[in-house]
Amino acid sequence: MKDQQVFSSVARDSLKRQKFANQVLQFCLDYGFDGFDVDWEYPAQRDGDISVDKANFVLLLKELNQKLSPKGILLTIAVAAAESSANISYNVQSITRYVDFILLMTYDLHGPWDDSIGLNAPLYESDADQTASEKQLNVNASVHYWLRSGAPKNKLIMGMPLYGRTFTLRDATQTNVGSSHTGPGAAGVYTGEPGFIGYNEICEKKLSEHWLRIWETQQQAPYVVLGKHWISYDDTESLTLKSQFVKDLGLAGAMVWSIETDDFLGVCGKGKFPLLSTISSIVRDEVTEETSTTSRPTSSTEQIATEPSETICRSDGVFRDPEDCAIFVVCSGSTFFEFTCPNGLWFDLNTNTCNWPSQVNC
């Protein structure tokens, strides 16, 4: 059974909803998780009971909220961002009653599934957007749709991609947004998926190949071209603008998809995790201060400081606390992030993941 059918089946049955919520609660308590994210892509759109999925999604979130909230466990949802999709799947005012944060997936707004080339996550619309539906496919329009529909700012978290979407141009001389293509571009060397490429793969390509970077002025995002190869992506410049957008609107914060496609080894000359560091340095302080009185705190397992730990941060990278096997620190420039593994797990330096103590040399 497909994931969408499983969600639909659980959501429409009161006993299944209750059982699911109880199991989620117990799982979070057993492993020390401080939150649970629901990523149903997408209610009332495919492979389920589409006539009632929209209403049943609200009931599912209500059941989860009743179990998790008394224990101080966060409930979040990842949602379609664009109005054309979100309007089908969500009763915005109803779902916001039961969740702590709404994670807008403001990416994959364009890709090789489209008839023409477009930016993965444009901040604004462009002249190439002619129809009402096309004018919805940008970050600004998506965020404002959710705000108009009743999502409170202190629950709305804006997604930012640390990856790009690739196309194969039909004509190497026609590279503007809206030009024709013949399908997805070649797969990245690490991610291995045609039409998709991590920022780390893009920046490594630019070190060894002669890609032309073009800034799309109207949509406030870059793309790169080499022959018939065309890639839309986000870099530190576009993410700076998006992070400022989050601050200017007073949103709850930002989220990324996903950290393993950032330049986590720092091979491209801007330090480790340049994209994540850019977003964090702009968004974190002001957003945290603004929302602290109206929402529950974010993860208690993560801390941020503006000066690296003298005993742990010997350089940029990931290090384990010498006094506690469950604690690890990500050091980047003048900032470090401290994390604690879920209850019962230790940090494994060989895999950079939390693992069973029997598998960790500590």
pLDDT (tens, 9 = 90+) of the chain, 362 residues, equals 466 688 999 999 999 999 999 999 999 999 999 999 999 999 999 776 778 999 999 999 999 999 999 999 999 999 999 999 999 999 999 999 999 999 999 999 999 999 999 999 999 999 999 999 999 999 999 999 999 999 999 999 999 999 999 999 999 999 999 999 999 999 999 999 999 999 999 999 999 999 999 999 999 999 999 999 999 999 999 999 999 999 999 999 999 999 999 999 999 988 999 999 999 999 987 444 443 333 333 333 334 343 434 556 777 777 888 888 988 877 766 566 777 877 778 888 887 778 888 888 88
Q: What is the DSSP string of 285-313?
A: HHHHHHHTTTS--S-TTEEEESS--TTT-
Q: Are 24 and 68 in contact (CB under 8 A)?
A: yes
Q: What pLDDT does residue 332 have? A: 64
Main-chain dihedrals φ then ψ at residue 23, nearest 5 degrees: -70, -40
The answer to whether 328 and 360 are in contact (CB under 8 A) is no
Our CA angle for 7, 13, 17, nearest 5°, is 65
**Confidence at residue 289, expressed as pLDDT on a 0 to 100 scale:** 40
CATH topology classification for 302-359:
Antimicrobial Protein, Tachycitin; Chain A (2.170.140)
Residue 336: the pLDDT is: 66
| pLDDT value of position 293 | 33
pLDDT of residue 11: 95
Please name the fold of domain 3-161+236-291. TIM Barrel (3.20.20)
pLDDT score recorded for residue 311: 58
Give the pLDDT of residue 292.
36
Comma-separated ranges of CATH 3.20.20.80 domains in the chain = 3-161+236-291
Q: Where, residue-wise, is CATH 2.170.140.10 in the chain?
A: 302-359
**CA 25 to CA 19: how far, in whole Å?**
10
pLDDT at 327 (0 to 100): 86
> Which one of the listed residues 41, 125, 290, 338 is annotated catalytic?
41
Task: Give residue for tokens 């209610």.
Answer: 43
Partners of residue 337 on adjacent β-strands: 304, 330
Task: Label the pairing between strands 74-80 and 101-105.
Answer: parallel
Concerning whether 307 is annotated as a catalytic residue, the answer is no
Where are the alpha helices (H) located in 136-186, listed in sequence order? 139-148
Residue 344's alpha-carbon distances to 60, 180, 327, in angstroms, are 29, 53, 12
- Residue 185 vs residues 107, 113, 138, 311: alpha-carbon distances, Å: 18, 12, 22, 45
Global pTM reads 0.78
